[in-house]
Structure 1
């Protein structure tokens, strides 16, 4: 059988077995919300909306951004009320309550932060995209809490939409890391291995306490600077490749993502950015496994042994066990 048909068969089989209701997705989604909670709860609205030289006064409410949480209702609603409304929504999302019903409000808050504050960073841009992409995944989740074990199968249409959304997240995050790595190769300081020397001494970000003195001293050593600079490029490429590979390699990519952004936190701070990137990679690294659900309550005991996780990598055309609900 030709390779394209085999690959198509594997993809169809994975779609039939796909069930995103696992702790990987729950943890990633909660981390996304937690990152924005830190931004809103610990930063006053006046700071987030501070005027930037050469830019219009925030919040930005023109065009489609008029639906932002910072804009709806106009001046009749204070920015403090808006702030705590968004925090309340994010707390509910982070708790894991009713993913199906909190998906759109979560995306609305991420959109509002990413488009209306004066100076959003790269993490805000990623969050507003990922929270939209995971809406179909959340719609497939009818549980009260995302931490509960699923008790009913997913409808075929919702499962298909969720599977496509899962792949969209993987492609988006993998593409982001690959683009970041490749773009660095066009900058002389990255190619010659000195970029990190200037980054840790930058006026906009730079090193953050309590390890600032340590990093300033370490980056005076040429081999350390070279290793940090090229290490960042290499690990970004590896993360991109791993997130497009099998479940095993996606987990490896996720570990590398934690190491990369953990180093960013230790050196420069940037907690919310690093948390958003780790959370997005957690969603993209979801395993291709699920626990089969019994066809009916009476079948539960009979299918107990069949409830082991199914590895869809091994047999692309294997018959789906009786305990599995097919799309």
Structure 2
């Protein structure tokens, strides 16, 4: 037991130092929120309500308003309120979130809006669920963000309690997104087409999710080469694993993971579309890659090391000048 205590104390000290310099109130966090909100906004703006709530064989009518789904905005008001007013309510909420106005005020409405889309539409593509989870996990970070716009620099340091909550939420977001990528990649190895390197050949020719114009001719031509098909298929698995690992690592590696994420999902947009899904994943990676905000060095009125210069560092010349004035 005595041998364990120093290790525990060391870990506690490291977490305390890490939490003390943690601050998600940056343009990185704001950009990620905006991208995710725009992803959900695109679904509601460019898809008619009827197409989102189309009946599915073997399933109940949508929106399903039983149990916890009754909290969805698309169930608001029951039969007395039509779908269009509900849709526009969600559009307004997501538009305000995307603008970056008052993160503290919009954190919970953002989570409600993404929850409403995820549990109420008939044919979600997976991005809705990821967006919902991320919006829920971002609530503590959003409540800790007292800026008027999430594009601004903070005017003062956050309170220690808010920094701690935000730090825990930040860790949870990184673990969640890393798990999604690692689980997705590892699970694909159990599918024959992914394991033998031919999956991309069939995906590009799929009637529903296959490559779209104007890139169809080019990618279909490329996919006739076996080496290219294998490289595309296994390359996607390697990138997914790399993204998952990088998002759990240091700030530098998280940024590398974000770049790979943009490349991966940008490629999916070019070939298969899936805009909302890709944007949710890109926005999530941007949030997970957020570096700590660099605080300006604190000014000092003088101590054992001497006064602080305009650049924020102690210097012997400054101390000598002050002492010379004091003796006059």
What is the distance in 2 between the residues matched to 1:274 and 1:303? 48
Q: How many residues align?
A: 303
What is the distance in 2 between the residues matched to 1:143 and 1:36? 23
Equivalent in the alignment of 1:318: none
User: Which of 177, 180, 202 is equivalent to 2:181?
Assistant: 177
Deviations 1:6-35 (Å, cap 9, x if unpaired)? 444332211011111101100000111011
What is the distance in 2 between the residues matched to 1:205 and 1:121? 11
What is the distance in 2 between the residues matched to 1:57 and 1:66? 14
Q: Please state how far the C-alpha of 1:4 moved relative to its aligned partner.
A: 6.1
Equivalent in the alignment of 1:134: 138
Deviations 1:189-226 (Å, cap 9, x if unpaired)? 10100011111111231112221121122111111110
Equivalent in the alignment of 2:86: 82
How large is the Cα RMSD of the aligned pairs? 1.9
Q: Is the 8 A contact 2:102 2:150 kept in 1?
A: yes
Alpha carbons of structure 1 residues 235 and 8: separation in structure 2 relative to 1, 3 Å: farther
Equivalent in the alignment of 2:318: none
What is the distance in 2 between the residues matched to 1:5 and 1:306? 32
Equivalent in the alignment of 1:91: 95
Q: Does 1:210 align with 2:198?
A: no
User: Which of 270, 275, 280 is equivalent to 2:279?
Assistant: 275
Equivalent in the alignment of 2:311: 305
What is the distance in 2 between the residues matched to 1:224 and 1:277? 25
Q: Does 1:9 align with 2:44?
A: no
TM-score, reference length from structure 2 = 0.88
Alpha carbons of structure 1 residues 170 and 66: separation in structure 2 relative to 1, 3 Å: same
- After superposition, residues 1-327 of structure 1 pair within 5 angstroms as 6-292=10-296, 294=298, 305-306=311-312
The structure with the largest alpha-carbon Rg is 2
TM-score, reference length from structure 1 = 0.88
What is the distance in 2 between the residues matched to 1:76 and 1:305? 63
What is the distance in 2 between the residues matched to 1:54 and 1:289? 50
What is the distance in 1 between the residues matched to 2:299 and 2:171? 27
What is the distance in 2 between the residues matched to 1:50 and 1:221? 39
Runs of 5+ in structure 1 lacking a partner?
308-327
DSSP 3-state at the match of 2:163:
helix
Q: Please state how far the C-alpha of 1:111 moved relative to its aligned partner.
A: 0.2
Q: Is the 8 A contact 1:175 1:240 kept in 2?
A: yes
DSSP 3-state at the match of 2:73:
coil
What is the distance in 1 between the residues matched to 2:272 and 2:235? 16
Q: Is the 8 A contact 2:104 2:145 kept in 1?
A: yes
Q: Is the 8 A contact 1:254 1:282 kept in 2?
A: yes
Q: Is the 8 A contact 1:152 1:293 kept in 2?
A: no
Equivalent in the alignment of 1:317: none
What is the distance in 2 between the residues matched to 1:302 and 1:27? 35
